[in-house]
């Protein structure tokens, strides 16, 4: 006689045969159908996952059928399920939203085409000697446990900023949703991905792009206008989602990606005086402002591929690289150190883009090595290599133990004024610097030491939200698991 086990992941810790009351009708129907379906030996005990909505809240139920004496993972004869057995044997990959589980025997039944880990090494890059995808999995769990929530998400999921110094605590920014979507698709977690994308769609603005700053209760935007870095990362993640989970007859992820790409090109690329210059958002038209850390040439190559507009997006890449090198100049004191300003004009002059905006190498700027490495590892672009060697040379001289969360353009330490005076470091600075240093073997010592710092999961200065995100993203890149699916 078959039995089942079920758990509502939000708050419950016990496993048992009782179906959660709010899920009973849906789950009992699923269980009835599963009981009557033909069974293959390797399907015994397979965990299923079902999203249950009650009112405006989202719950996730993990459940499985098992024979009376079968209560853990079977010996697995199917190569496609090897990752699931690794997880069943204790690989640390868990979150409270039913993404994965620490419980032995928890096997996911909804894998995509590219299950985690990917462990793909680019021939153009070096990697830490101790690189291990399990470090990324542990970081993923810590991030999802603290940063992902259904509270205030209006039936979906969102990233929250518990201790932000830049706004309302527990609010959400579009950048965080984009990071989450990228992380979810790389970890092959469709429930998380759909929850985050569903939330983003609640706040699409006049341009069809997400407003950048949302109230903690989901009541509406606290800041209107889109942010280009979020929009391009969402579009990239949607393309990856299509390749991960899509089908020829079901292309909703790809269709959504194409709509975003069209809106980005129309409203966040200049078509006037500063032709083909990437702008910071959809409300910045008519202004000569460029954010070097928003520049993501890998994404634009992909956008050209899926839309057939390669020439248009290649122009955006060319203008972006030209502007990147213009802001690295003798006049700015950063000609050879790779320390890009937070904001600059098309001629490379640092600019205060809004009142109080910093112009040094700060929390935005620190992402630039990561974005340029994305391009380099796939294309070997000489412009990318030139930039990466400059920034890697600077940070390798500083040393992984000494990296602070801010620098003047000339390379002097300028820690962020909103950070505590004593802290363990910032993942976005150390992790992204390590990613940039993957460009060449002479920086291996720095890469190794920086990796050891990032893998601790403790580099959470200034903003736990931001640095949790960049801990996961950096470890994915450093372990060969931040990949572009074919």
Longest alpha-carbon distance in the chain: 78
Which of 482, 422, 485, 430 lies closest to 453, judged by CA?
Answer: 430
Residue 405 bears catalytic tag: no
Look at the alpha carbons of 371, 476, 462, 403 in this order and tell me if their dihedral is positive or negative.
negative
Catalytic residue among 188, 194, 229, 276: 229
Rounded Cα gap, residues 335 and 332, in angstroms? 7
> Are 107 and 44 contacting, i.e. CB atoms less than 8 angstroms apart?
no
Would you state the pLDDT for residue 418?
87
Would you state the pLDDT for residue 292?
98
Give me the phi and psi of 440, to 5 degrees please. -155, 150
10-residue mean pLDDT series, the chain (486 residues)? 34 35 47 46 43 48 40 30 28 35 34 93 97 98 97 97 94 98 98 97 98 98 98 98 86 96 98 97 96 98 98 98 98 98 98 95 98 97 98 98 96 90 82 98 98 97 96 98 96
Burial of 423 (0-12, 13-18, 19+ CB in 10 A): middle
DSSP string, 468-483: HHHHHHHHHHHTT---
Which two tokens mark 297?
Answer: 């040439």
Beta bridge partners of 153: none
Which two tokens mark 378?
Answer: 């796939």
Which two tokens mark 403?
Answer: 């990296």
Which of 246, 235, 337, 231 lies closest to 294, judged by CA?
Answer: 231
Would you state the pLDDT for residue 421?
60
Rounded Cα gap, residues 103 and 112, in angstroms? 21
Q: What domains are there in the chain, each with its CATH number?
A: 3-80 (no CATH), 133-478 (1.50.10.10)
> Are 198 and 205 contacting, i.e. CB atoms less than 8 angstroms apart?
no
| H or E stretch covering 252 | helix 252-268
| Residue ranges of E strands in 246-335 | none
Angle in degrees, 0-180, between the axes of helices 310-326 and 382-398, rounded to the nearest 10: 40
Length in residues, the chain: 486
**In the block, residue with structure tokens 């603290």:** 146
Give Cα 113 to chain centroid, integer Å. Answer: 19
Burial of 144 (0-12, 13-18, 19+ CB in 10 A): buried
Residue 229 bears catalytic tag: yes
Contacts of 101 (CB under 8 A, 6+ apart): 47, 62, 87, 94
Catalytic residue among 175, 283, 381, 416: 175
> Are 200 and 210 contacting, i.e. CB atoms less than 8 angstroms apart?
yes
Would you state the pLDDT for residue 157?
98
**In the block, residue with structure tokens 């199917």:** 78
Which two tokens mark 288?
Answer: 């000569």
Rounded Cα gap, residues 357 and 353, in angstroms? 6
Which two tokens mark 398?
Answer: 């500083």
DSSP secondary structure letter of residue 223: E
């Amino acid at each position: 006689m078959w039995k089942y086990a079920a758990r509502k992941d939000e708050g419950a810790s016990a496993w048992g045969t009782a179906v959660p009351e709010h899920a009973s009708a849906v789950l009992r129907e699923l269980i009835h159908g599963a009981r009557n379906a033909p069974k293959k030996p390797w399907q015994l005990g397979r965990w299923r996952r079902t999203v249950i909505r009650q009112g405006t809240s989202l719950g996730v139920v993990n459940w499985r059928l098992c024979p009376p004496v079968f209560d853990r993972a079977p010996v697995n004869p199917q190569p496609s399920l090897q990752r699931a057995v690794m997880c069943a044997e204790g690989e640390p990959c868990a979150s409270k939203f039913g993404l994965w589980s620490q419980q032995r025997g928890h096997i996911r039944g909804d894998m995509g085409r590219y299950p985690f880990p990917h462990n793909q090494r680019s021939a153009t890059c070096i990697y830490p000697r101790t690189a291990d995808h399990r470090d990324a999995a542990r970081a993923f769990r810590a991030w999802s446990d603290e940063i992902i929530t259904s509270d205030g998400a209006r039936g979906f999921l969102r990233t929250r900023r518990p201790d932000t110094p830049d706004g309302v605590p527990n609010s959400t920014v579009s950048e965080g949703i984009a990071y989450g979507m990228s992380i979810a698709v790389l970890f092959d977690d469709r429930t998380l991905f759909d929850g985050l994308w569903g939330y983003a769609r609640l706040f699409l603005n006049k341009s069809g792009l997400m407003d950048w700053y949302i109230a903690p209760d989901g009541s509406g935007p606290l800041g209107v206008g889109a942010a280009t870095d979020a929009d391009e990362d969402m579009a990239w993640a949607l393309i990856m989602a299509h390749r991960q989970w899509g089908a020829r007859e079901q292309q909703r992820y790809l269709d959504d990606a194409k709509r975003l790409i069209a809106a980005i090109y129309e409203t966040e690329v200049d078509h006037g005086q500063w032709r083909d210059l990437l702008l910071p958002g959809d409300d910045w038209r008519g202004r000569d402002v460029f954010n070097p850390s928003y520049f993501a040439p890998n994404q634009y190559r992909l956008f050209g591929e899926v839309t057939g507009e390669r020439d248009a997006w290649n122009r955006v890449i060319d203008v972006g690289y030209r502007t990147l090198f213009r802001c690295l100049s003798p006049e700015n004191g950063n000609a050879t150190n790779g320390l890009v300003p937070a904001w600059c004009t098309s001629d490379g002059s640092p600019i205060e883009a809004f009142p109080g905006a910093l112009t040094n190498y700060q929390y935005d700027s620190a992402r630039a090595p990561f974005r340029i490495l994305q391009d380099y590892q796939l294309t070997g672009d000489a412009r990318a290599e030139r930039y990466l060697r400059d920034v890697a040379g600077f940070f390798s001289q500083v040393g992984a133990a000494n990296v602070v969360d801010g620098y003047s353009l000339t390379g002097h330490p300028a820690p962020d004024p909103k950070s505590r005076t004593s802290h363990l470091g910032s993942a976005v600075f150390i992790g992204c610097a390590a990613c940039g240093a993957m460009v060449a073997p002479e920086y291996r010592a720095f890469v190794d030491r920086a990796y050891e710092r990032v893998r601790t999961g403790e580099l959470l200065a200034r903003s736990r939200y931001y640095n949790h995100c960049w801990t996961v993203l950096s470890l994915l890149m450093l372990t060969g698991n931040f990949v572009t699916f074919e």
